[in-house]
Chain A
Amino acid sequence: MSTSQTNSRRLASLKGICAATGLFLPFLMNAQIDRTLPPVPAPAPIVNIGEHKTFTLPNGLRVIVVENHKLPMVGVQLRFDIPPMSQGNQVGFVEMMGDLLTHGAGNRSKAQIDQDVDRLGAQLSANSEGVYASVLKKHLEALLPIMADVATAPTFPSDELAKAKKRTLSEVQQRKDDPSAIGEAVGRSVTYGRSHPYGEVATERSIAQVNEQQLKAYHAKFFRPEKGYLVFVGDITEKEAKALAKARFGDWKPAQKYTVVDEDGKQTIEGIGEVRFLEKPAIPRGPRRVIIVDRPGAAQSVIRVGFPLNLQPKDVRALSAQVMNTILGGGVFNAQLMQNLREDKGWTYGSHATLDADRFNGHFHTSANVRTAVTDSAIAETIKEIERMRTTRVSPEELDLAKRFMAGSFARSLEDPRTIARFALNTYLNELPKDHYATYLKRLEAVTAEDVQAAAEAFLHPDNAVILVVGDKRKLLHRLEPLSWATNPVVTELDHNGEFFVEQFEPVRDRTAQQVLDAHIAAIGGREAIGRIKDMRMQLSTEMKDMPLEIVQWYGPDGLFRSTVKSNGSVMREEAYDGQRAMRSDSQGVVELEDADLGDLQFNGHPVPEVRYGPNVERMVLAGRTTVDGKPVYKVHIVLATGGSAGDYFEISSGLKLRRVEQRSVDGRAVTIITDYSDYQPAGGVLFPRMITQTGGPAGELVMKVEAIDLNTGLKPAFFATNLPERKVEEYIEPEEENPLEPTPDGVKDE
């Protein structure tokens, strides 16, 4: 605001000087510049939108011509209007059809097409929606027959299809280690849903299903003149374009009749089978939820916050929505997300928001790559900024900057004559008013702060947002849980294809779970040495939210157990198990622990719980071989007698237990707790981990250091008294059924 006032003041004085001298140039030479203020702009230049011409061939092909003779070059595209459809269990065949158009057409092989195009110095590419070319004017006539063959007479040679499948499989495989590719693919999938045409992700399985018939059928069905737009841009006249279009595409007839899709969106296409077109656009719904794709040890987290939108380009609110998005995080450096996450916090190289108006189904998403430690904060700030757009009116300065920037971008885009062609094509495809682009600057100027807020209210849905994080699960899980409003599970883990995560194992056939367990027991000292431990006191130190804690655990004979957690000398929490009953005492008072909590204490109430797996463990399965932080391990899945389950990871080379993963219910929300063990050192001839790191619990990440281990000090049963009031002992309590919907940590279901 202040700047524009000063500007107008200076403008007044400049006018005075100019009038007094009557000449512009002498003024410039003599004037002293005032560096303290930005210069006054000259009058704004007029932005001229170039024109396009259009005509239709008798076969229905619409031709668009944009004449611009600045460079001796012509761009040509043949684009088809195709409704998006779900590809089902053969996802990927539509994209592959596009790729293979240039891999054999007419009587040319792929090698011939490549050579013929390159010899002209031209560029020719294709995708599932059309064919695109750039060429020097002098070679246009030579290129067009190749382009016409590619678009109208592709041959889909079977050896090329085999190669393409192999290559695509490699690319899918490569995505496993490409966080941005995962963010893009899984991001689409979780935003639109897995069966939505925009949300489907090609996988190893689906690529294998692709066959020649599908490609041919799809091409025949959707690459047809009356659904096509042939666009010429550049050093060409309408007359030349007409002659070329007629010569190369005039005789082109569609192979079959175009049938209208049924009401329910389903249609059977010969050669493809039953396909489903998008019936209704996906809209934001469901509670705010967090999805994670694990990248152990990742340097950064890729974060995306998004939701689908029913927003079409022809919607009158689309422009104010774009202004809103520019202020929030689109294009400008001065956007709120960029300023907050980068310029204020230094958390990221860049954070952006994308609001995509699409004639079938739009969407919104923010994206940023941030270092692991600030992942949750960056998401929280992102949501805060999205919410702020809804609740707070943008300042006149912000609005002004966004509008002027967008006006400038519009003018800059016209440097490229293809922009005019894009405008024309968009106008047809999106059914825009004829003067949509001619009135763009005027409509932009009219957008108010109220319009922006209304657009935010209509198109930003932070409460329904899907938060995708591609990052180090072990470090992030407990930090992400509070951001999710979902309960079961709180955080959903997906794989690089956007499918439910299933831990991958190499099968192990030369040993059993019991043998792995026995090897572990032998590695830490053997049953005999462990049996000599009658009681044990273990003292640990840790910090919780910068508060130092001292934890002491006593293990008595027959599984008796007691523990205290102290902070600065005062006891904050105490637990005891007297062999029958268990209690917990903390600031909330004293409670008796029952069911799963009791089971937990019974299970863990031994210095080396593994030696008592026999009575406490219902079932033990050797899941197979995998790695923990790059170390080869066996995973043993155990189901406790009390119904809970856990996964133990034993290092193959040393036999030591490196990790335990358990799923627990905390305040009715299913959370995953990961405990890592390291720095094994002996006490009484038995190796104990001296460093225990736990994540996923309500306390966040706990790094616990074992300070002391005292063995066989003669602890008496009375020391483990729970002092709970007497109660009638019930005969038998049926263990609660586990919720069958609740996934166990590694996908192995309870019986």
Chain B
Amino acid sequence: MKNLICSSVIMLATTAPAQNGAIRYTEFDLENGLHVILHEDRSTPIVCVSVMYHVGSKNEDPTRRGFAHFFEHLLFEGSANIGRGEFSKHVEKAGGVLNANTTADRTYYFEVLPSNQLELGLWLESERMLHAKVDQKGVDTQREVVKEERRQRYENQPYGSILIDVLDRAYTVHPYRWPTIGFMEDLNAASESDYQAFYKGYYVPNNAVLVVAGDIDPTRARELVSRYFKDIPRGADVTQPVVEEPPMHGEKRDIVHDRIQLPAVVLAYRIPPTGSADFYAVDLVNRLLSTGNSSRLSTALKDQQQKAIATGAFSLPFEQGGLAIMYAIANAGVEAGALEQAMLAEVSRIQNEGVPKEEFAKLMAQLEMENVQDRARIAGIASDLARCHMLLGDTRLVNTEIDRYLALTPEDLKRAASTYFTGNRVVLHYLPMSQKQP
């Protein structure tokens, strides 16, 4: 009863965030180096507890490609206090959901729970950070599960190998050259010492950011965070690999025969690191090409020329320089060559003619809308807070990153298109198997 009174008194002290206002948060470091971000939003009685570790596939040994993602699977297996299979049970029994994902740069774990279960989320994530445990059955099973994940998402899917094929040709020395899902033979080769080294080296508080967002009292949350995380020992300093990828000289062109009916064309260009000034300009070029039905690729390739049934352009926002990837899937009877020409013509048009004011205003209106939509879910806000802190180096960007887009001019787009969408690129034609010459 006392408990109930205590917490309800605390609840009164909160206010709802002002509409359209900034995302308010507090942040601090524990002594062990764990960075903590708290965000209060009482509109729904749920809480998101998440941890982002600054480790991804770019930290992998080249003979253990896919290890970071595989390891993510293993970290659901349990801890010194949580038996195999119990981790998810604790969450689901509490009415929550959990998941994780891995990219080239970071690994992200999260639970969304009813807000009275905040402490459970902290206990689980602190157990994962303090003394995760995996038995042989877990290792063997998850290795097979990851193989099936690879088959499902990359191998048994038309055009499923695009990302793998592009990365392999866009980079020559950087670990970005292999995909996060990795390769089966490398996962087969992984042994106990790999697990130990990875956990000890990267899963340390000084390499992580903890975000607690939602229906919380920040003061109480701060105390609870401290209780659960302060005794986790700091690890050795983590150094991120710094690999100097030489510039692409010219074009890498290839044909990939796939189990597909319609040809596809993929173009990829190297772009500057996520968060850098030009990254936003390049990203806006991608948006110009692909966001909305009136986008350049959709209008020209699908509506006017009827050369494609699907088009897209997006940025891979890597820390050490990612890619702009453009793709189109051909309408029946359209050759890959003609499709490529049509895509390149759209790039040239930006480079030569720039972007009319009205169209530029459209891009800004779309950004404004997206910025609002991104705030609809507490889990989305939590991951954005973690991203801004860890990959952009400044949590404040959760509110101000949009300004970097809004500050751009039509001239910036033209310049970015000319600077980065050059002849130094990867060009892949995906053709049906039946077109393969014996």
Contact = CB atoms under 8 A, between A and B. Distances in A.
Interface string A370-402: 110000000000000000000000000000110
Interface in A342-373: 342-349, 369-371
Interface centre among A166, A339, A349, A400 (most CB of B within 10 A): A349
A174 B95 contact: no
Interface string B127-167: 10010000000001111110111011101111000000000
A41 B119 contact: yes
Contact of A19 (B2, B153, B299): B2
B89 interface: yes
Contacts of A414: 44
A59 interface: no
Given A178-B157, A411-B44, A38 B90 contact: yes
A344 B372 contact: no
Contact of A346 (B98, B142, B157, B158): B142
B191 interface: no
Interface in B23-82: 43-46, 80-81
Q: Determine the interface band of chain A, counting residues with CB < 8 A from chain B.
A: 35 or more
A170 B309 contact: yes
Given A70-B43, A412-B97, A121 B369 contact: yes
Interface stretch (A112-120, A224-232, A514-522, A720-728): A112-120
A119 B365 contact: yes
Interface string A581-612: 00000000000000000000000000000000
Nearest to B121: A39
B3 A42 contact: yes
B116 A45 contact: yes
Contact of A25 (B3, B115, B219, B367): B219
Interface stretch (A29-37, A284-292, A640-648, A665-673): A29-37
Given A24-B6, A36-B81, A45 B115 contact: yes
Contacts of A627: 434
A300 B85 contact: no
Contacts of A415: 43-44, 46, 376-378
Contact of A114 (B20, B119, B292): B292
Contact of B143 (A69, A346, A411, A653): A346
Given A163-B303, A170-B332, A349 B2 contact: no
Given A24-B10, A177-B261, A298 B156 contact: yes
A42 B115 CA distance: 8
Interface stretch (B223-231, B346-354, B399-407, B420-428): B223-231
B418 interface: no
B338 interface: no
B236 interface: no
Contacts of B88: 332-334
Contacts of B223: 25, 28-29
A369 B156 contact: yes
Given A33-B228, A118-B366, A408-B113, A346 B145 contact: yes
B92 A118 contact: no
Contacts of B438: 653
Interface residues of B, number: 101
B419 interface: no
Contacts of A502: none
A404 B433 CA distance: 49
A123 B377 CA distance: 18
Interface string B256-269: 00011110000000
A220 interface: no
A71 B95 contact: no
Contacts of A70: 16, 19, 43
A299 interface: yes
A407 interface: yes
Contacts of A41: 94, 114, 116-117, 119-120
A316 interface: no
Interface in A144-176: 163, 166-167, 169-171, 173-174, 176
A166 B306 contact: yes
A47 B43 CA distance: 11
Interface string A129-145: 00000111001000000
Given A71-B19, A300-B148, A333-B92, A174 B262 contact: yes
B15 interface: no
Nearest to B20: A72
B144 to A, nearest CB: 3
B243 interface: no
Given A25-B219, A114-B294, A343-B141, 18 more contacts: A23-B6, A39-B123, A71-B373, A114-B292, A115-B362, A117-B293, A119-B294, A119-B358, A121-B362, A121-B366, A166-B332, A170-B309, A174-B158, A332-B88, A369-B151, A408-B96, A409-B95, A411-B45
5 contacts: A33-B227, A42-B117, A121-B362, A408-B96, A630-B433
Pick the 8 closest A-B CB pairs, nearest first.
Answer: A408-B95, A346-B144, A45-B45, A121-B365, A121-B369, A39-B119, A114-B293, A24-B6
